[in-house]
Structure 1
Amino acid sequence: MDFASLLGILSGLALIVSAILIGGNADIFVNVPGLMIVIGGTMAATLLTVQFRDVMNAFKGAYIVFTQDKTNPSEMIDTMIKLSKISHRHGLLKLGDVKTDSPVLKRACNLLSEAASEQVIRNTLQNEIDSLMARHFSVQDVFRKMAGYAPAFGMLGTLIGLIQMLSELDNPDTIGPAMAVALLTTFYGSLLSTMVFLPIAGKLKARTLLEVTNLEIIREGSISILTNDHYAHVYEQLSSYLPERERKSIFNQSDKKEAAKKGAKQ
């Protein structure tokens, strides 16, 4: 599981629960009808807004993001450098035998092994990037909508509670507890929005940006390999996707001589 996500969930819940326990009895924060209004209403409104398939894909995507390890751009750059070395030693045809868990990288290797043109490779991989962004946006949009609906249904539950409370004004002893119960739905809606739905949408957006960067590295690296660039040149082109502090020079003296000879021949 992603460490930052685990730390955020545990620390946030711990602080909220601690504040509740310090303030008094935790039982007063449990109200089943309020939970039914907020959770049920939020899910119902979401299903009315988007397709059921999109909702299922959203929860599935959230599970994958929070449980699977991410691939850093530096790791993807290292992979493209290895492919460049394979191409130089054995030719582009050898790239068709490369085994990888990434379907996009495998597709790029197949295109290179088939000696596809630069324009074909660029268009194909750009289509992969565009389709990934569209799929991920629909997933993020589900949680953003839920983040908007939850507080609204929390307020709706509060209004229902206030109406019920005002109908019992002839009994002053019930006003305080009834007011507390009425406000609980607003609490539930705000908690779900700020602690669950918005953070998930933000995490999904961050993972999307990371995956897009990796796909762009695959695209530009594949084009560099196709043009038979030296692997050190491939790195120098792809290193712009990394922060300055993470960049390194992979040129040694032999690399410089080899690259210089290759440039002279060209």
Structure 2
Amino acid sequence: MDFNSIIGVVIALIAVFGGQALEGGHPGSLIQLTAFTVVLGGTLGAVLLQSPVRQFLLGMKMSRWVFVPPLLDAAALVEHIAAWSTTARKEGLLALDPHIAGIDDPFVKKGLQLVVDGTEPRELKRVLEVEIETFDDLHRQGARVWEAAGGYAPTIGILGAVMGLIQVMENLADPAHLGAGIAVAFVATIYGVGLANLAFLPIANKLKSLIARQVLMREMLVDGLVGIANGENPRLISGRLKGYVV
């Protein structure tokens, strides 16, 4: 669980609703169903129009990473690679075969299998780097779903504000109906700007950061496996890989 994200959400909500209360306003006045429907629905429609179904679904699936990020233990991976290199140095590459069954990560399993199969180091690196590039591109497309939402939401908020003002103009002769239109106008703008800058864009940037860390971990793994395939000294491999750990 990423408590940093939870704390960030709580602080943002306290800042918005607390600021409203400090100014003497009622926090409940920021809750306006019509404005919320216009902004969220319009943003969702725009994102769906822009994104292929696979990309959109991936972006939604990745959103859980904001609060439950992938487990990335670089130090533990360095230890595993060091142990594999020691085994390969002493007993040969085939001695690594029993280790494959206990690996859950498909990328790690494939890489170690290629080493056991005696794949030439240059070819090993090329194959795994293609997978890294594909992983990076695919998941960044998912993150761009949230980035797109952050771009559309403020504009949709302005659209909701204009709709509210139209309602105001249509009811100038009936003061009883002016309040609803004005509420939609101002609250829609708040929703558009607030959702973009307090939710959609931060989510997109956090996902990009997590993707970059996963890519770095995979690059470290490739470096270590190529070293094992080349028969390098385990201490040399371990020392080089520790440079990836931050």
Structure 1 length as normaliser, TM-score? Answer: 0.85
What does 1:75-224 align with in structure 2 at a 5 Å threshold?
75-98=76-99, 99-171=102-174, 175=178, 178-224=181-227
Match of 1:238 in 2: 241
Deviation at 1:81, TM superposition (A): 1.1
Query: Conserved in 1, the CA contact under 8 Å of 2:154 and 2:193?
Result: yes
Q: Which AA in structure 1 matches 2:157?
A: G
User: Which residue matches 1:45?
Assistant: 46
Contact preservation (8 Å) 1:73, 1:210:
no
CA contact (8 A) 1:2 1:69 kept: no
Query: Residues 21-46 of structure 1, C-alpha deviation per residue, up to 9 Å, x if partnerless?
Result: 33321221121111111111111111
- Mapped partners of 1:89, 1:76: distance in 2: 20
Q: Which amino acid aligns with 2:61?
A: K
- Post-superposition shift, 1:117? 0.2
Matched, 1:6 2:9: no
* Alignment partners' CA distance in 1, 2:209 and 2:80: 22
Contact 1:136/1:208 (8 A) holds in 2: yes
CA contact (8 A) 1:41 1:153 kept: yes
Q: Whole-Å Cα distance in 1 between the matches of residues 131 and 65 of structure 2?
A: 19
**Any gaps of 5 or more consecutive residues in structure 1?**
244-266
CA distance in 2, matches of 1:66, 1:84: 35
Which residue of structure 2 aligns with residue 228 of structure 1? 231
C-alpha separation in 1, matches of 2:121 and 2:66: 32
Q: Normalized against structure 2, the TM-score is what?
A: 0.91
**Deviation at 1:4?**
1.8
1:162-218 Cα offsets, whole Å, 9 max, x none, are 111122223457656642331110101111111111111011100111011101111
Match of 1:259 in 2: none
Gap runs ≥5 in structure 2: none
> 1:7-86 alignment to 2 at 5 Å?
7-22=7-22, 23-86=24-87
CA contact (8 A) 2:167 2:178 kept: no
Q: Shift of residue 242 of structure 1? A: 3.3
Mean Cα deviation higher: 25-34 or 163-172 = 163-172
Task: Indicate the SS of the match to 1:67.
Answer: coil
Which entry has the higher C-alpha Rg, 1 or 2?
1
CA deviation profile, 1:43-79 (whole Å, cap 9, x unmatched) = 1111111122321111111214531443143332222
* 1:264 alignment counterpart: none
Distance 2:69 2:28 in 1: 36
AA aligned opposite 1:74? A
Shift of 1:82: 1.8
Q: Which amino acid aligns with 2:83?
A: K
Structure 1 residues 44-53 or 90-99, which shifts more? 90-99
SS at structure 2 position matched to 1:170: coil
Q: Determine the C-alpha separation between the residues in 2 that align with 1:175 and 1:32.
A: 17
The count of corresponding residues between Structure 1 and Structure 2 is 243
Give the partner amino acid of 1:33.
Answer: T
Query: Aligned with 1:115: secondary structure?
Result: coil
Q: CA RMSD in A?
A: 1.8
Contact 2:81 / 2:224 at 8 angstroms: preserved in 1?
yes
Give the % identical residues.
28
Q: What is the CA–CA distance in structure 2 between the aligned matches of 1:71 and 1:200, rounded to whole Å?
A: 19
Alignment partners' CA distance in 2, 1:195 and 1:86: 50
Secondary structure at the counterpart of residue 201 of structure 1: helix
